[in-house]
Amino acid sequence: GAVVSQHPSRVICKSGTSVKIECRSLDFQATTMFWYRQFPKQSLMLMATSNEGSKATYEQGVEKDKFLINHASLTLSTLTVTSAHPEDSSFYICSARELGDQETQYFGPGTRLLVL
Amino acid sequence: KQEVTQIPAALSVPEGENLVLNCSFTDSAIYNLQWFRQDPGKGLTSLLLIQSSQREQTSGRLNASLDKSSGRSTLYIAASQPGDSATYLCAVKNQAGTALIFGKGTTLSVSS
């Protein structure tokens, strides 16, 4: 089956620093990747949709200058949390949609971010 | 805007019981609906996917139904086991190729 990996799985950083999270599709080409954020005991909230080679589409209320998304290849998308603050501490999950598949989203294992 | 609601938020049952988790969505014009399992601090495991034209899907002890016109889905778990303890998430896809929209989940605890 299709596998999506995320790196790192867990990161702790100081307030004000930037953190980059990678999302990779290991055995398929992902034309579209979705980034979600999940706060404790809350649901997954869609942050943005990224299509390979084009700018990401952000959901209402998500700051595009704070959460930089790059989808430069068919197997890699990155989310950079710039100038992170404690309120950005969350569980970030990516998912990928394979080229030609309109139905299935494959989810990564998530990245736990803690900003001190 | 599509909203997905799951009831109850938490559920505790003794081992062996049959149980039903509920999911409702505000816009009935969905493409498909999916149930996931999430263990604490972990990613998502897909359980069942129901297309908009389908009424139900079954996998082992799990059965998911869909009533699109009323905006409801249920996940039925038969003969629950302690290993079923997890958070169960319901998600809908409004159109082909778009992102899944999630409910807040039901946290299930099955005691032995």
Q: Does A91 touch chain B (CB under 8 A)?
A: yes
Query: Which residues is A25 bridged to in the sheet?
Result: A4
Tokens for A27, please give them: 């055995």
pLDDT score, position B48: 96
pLDDT score, position B103: 96
- Contact between chains at A44 and B89 (C-beta distance less than 8 A): yes
Q: Which of A42, A95, A105 sits opposite B104 (nearest CB)?
A: A42
Cα torsion B30, B33, B38, B42: sign? negative
Residue A25 pLDDT exceeds 90: yes
How far apart, in whole angstroms, are the C-alpha atoms of residue B29 and residue B67?
11
pLDDT score, position B42: 86
Residue A100 pLDDT exceeds 90: no
- Contact between chains at A46 and B99 (C-beta distance less than 8 A): yes
pLDDT score, position B86: 97
- Contact between chains at B96 and A103 (C-beta distance less than 8 A): yes
Percent of chain A with pLDDT strictly greater than 90: 75
Provide the 10 A C-beta neighbour count for residue A70: 15
- Contact between chains at B44 and A107 (C-beta distance less than 8 A): yes
Burial of B13 from C-beta contacts in 10 A (0-12 / 13-18 / 19+): middle
- Contact between chains at B89 and A109 (C-beta distance less than 8 A): no
- Residues in B touching A108 (Cβ below 8 Å): 43
Nearest chain B Cα distance for residue A29, angstroms: 15
Q: How far is CA A1 from each of CA A19, A95, A102, A106, B87, rounded to the nearest angstrom?
A: 29, 14, 16, 9, 23
Burial of B44-81, coded b for 16+ CB within 10 Å and e otherwise, reads: bebbbbbeeeeeebeeeebbbbbebeebbbbbebeebe
- Contact between chains at A105 and B100 (C-beta distance less than 8 A): yes
pLDDT score, position A72: 82
Pairing of strands A44-51, A76-81: unpaired
Q: Does A112 touch chain B (CB under 8 A)?
A: yes
Please identify every stretch of chain B with a pLDDT value under 70, giving residue numbers as ranges: none
Q: Does A21 touch chain B (CB under 8 A)?
A: no
pLDDT score, position B98: 86
How far apart, in whole angstroms, are the C-alpha atoms of residue B51 and residue A44?
21
Residue B110 phi, psi dihedral angles, 5° rounding: -110, 120
Bin B60: left if φ > 0, else alpha if -120 < ψ < 50, else beta.
Answer: left
How far apart, in whole angstroms, are the C-alpha atoms of residue B40 and residue A105?
21
pLDDT score, position B112: 93
- Residues in B touching A91 (Cβ below 8 Å): 41
pLDDT-derived band at A16 (thresholds 50, 70, 90) equals very high
pLDDT score, position A18: 97
pLDDT score, position A46: 95
Interval A33-82: pLDDT, tens = 999 999 988 889 999 999 888 889 999 999 999 999 999 899 999 999 99
pLDDT-derived band at A102 (thresholds 50, 70, 90) equals confident
